[in-house]
Structure 1
Amino acid sequence: MSIIIIFKYTFWLTFAILTYLFLVPQQYLIPEVFDWWDKLQHSLAFGVLTILGLLAYARTGSEVFRVIIVLSIYGALIEVLQTLSGWRYGEFRDWVADVLGVVIAWGVFALIQNNQYLSRIFKTT
């Protein structure tokens, strides 16, 4: 099995788990201790999802851009769905944290691509 296939499976598994966690009623989740921790969780989740998405699907500049845009829209959609759910609350600040995670991951991916050793390991070129 190629590494790209593994990245694709890992991306979709992570996507499914995060979608569940973002939409499950709040009482089934660990209570938040600090508001900043919630925003950090959003950024980390979207950062991981972005890295996996870029490793799985981005071989050209337009594909990188597509992954970035799609995951940013996905973050907004999650917030809308939370608002409509009746048991969760969507927040603009959560979406900003999502996009921040996407942008940071995009930067990390660019560093991986620009490093000859890492780009061969992750087969980004």
Structure 2
Amino acid sequence: MHHTDQTNLWIKALILAFWAAVVAVGILSLLPVEALPSPLLNWWDKAQHALGFLVLATLGFAAFAKKTTLVAVWLAIYGMLIELAQAFTGWRYGDIMDWLSDLAGIALAMILLAVIQKYWPALFRV
């Protein structure tokens, strides 16, 4: 397998992982709280939001390396839409603080991306 074939395969895997994570977050966000699995760790709710969107943003930035701003904006809107959808479920409620925690996760991913680009630029050469 050539280098470009391996790179293309890696990018396709990242894109698939990103969209799978987006769908998983959407489904888990709209399930009744009782239907959710018990947390592995007893994390604070806002930290879970930030961590979830940190993962989404990191996957999105890796999958769509030339469109990181678009990914960040899209994820911010997605987080807002999840909170709005929760407000209409009858078993969940939308919370602006949850959305702000989502934004914090996205911002942390952007900082992480900037640090990686500064100190390990070779990771971004394709």
Q: What TM-score range do you get, normalising by the shorter chain?
A: 0.7 to 0.9
User: Alpha-carbon deviation of 1:120?
Assistant: 3.4
Q: Contact 1:113/1:124 (CA < 8 Å) preserved in 2?
A: no
Structure 1 letter corresponding to 2:46: K
> Unpaired runs of 5+ in structure 2?
1-5
Name 1:37's counterpart in structure 2.
44
* Secondary structure at the counterpart of residue 85 of structure 1: coil
- Paired with 2:97 and 2:61, the residues of 1 have a C-alpha distance of 24
Is 1:80 the counterpart of 2:84? The answer is yes
Larger Rg: 2
Q: How much has 1:115 moved relative to structure 2? A: 2.4
Question: Structure 1: which 5+ runs fail to align?
Answer: none
Q: CA RMSD in A?
A: 2.0
Q: Matched residue of 1:107: which SS?
A: helix
Match of residue 68 from structure 1: 72
In the alignment, which residue of structure 2 is the partner of 1:12? 19
Find runs of 4+ consecutive structure 1 residues off by over 6 angstroms. Answer: none
Pair 1:124–1:39, CA change in 2 (3 A): farther
Counterpart residue number, 2:59: 52
TM-score (norm 1): 0.84
User: Is the 1:58–1:67 contact (alpha carbons within 8 Å) kept by the matching residues of 2?
Assistant: no
Code of the aligned partner of 1:10: A
Question: In 2, are the aligned partners of 1:55 and 1:124 still within 8 Å (CA)?
Answer: no
SS of corresponding position for 2:94:
coil
| CA displacement 1:45-78 (0-9 Å, x = unmatched) | 000000000000122xxx2211111100100000
Does residue 103 (structure 1) correspond to residue 110 (structure 2)? The answer is no
Q: Scaled by the length of structure 2, what TM-score is found?
A: 0.84
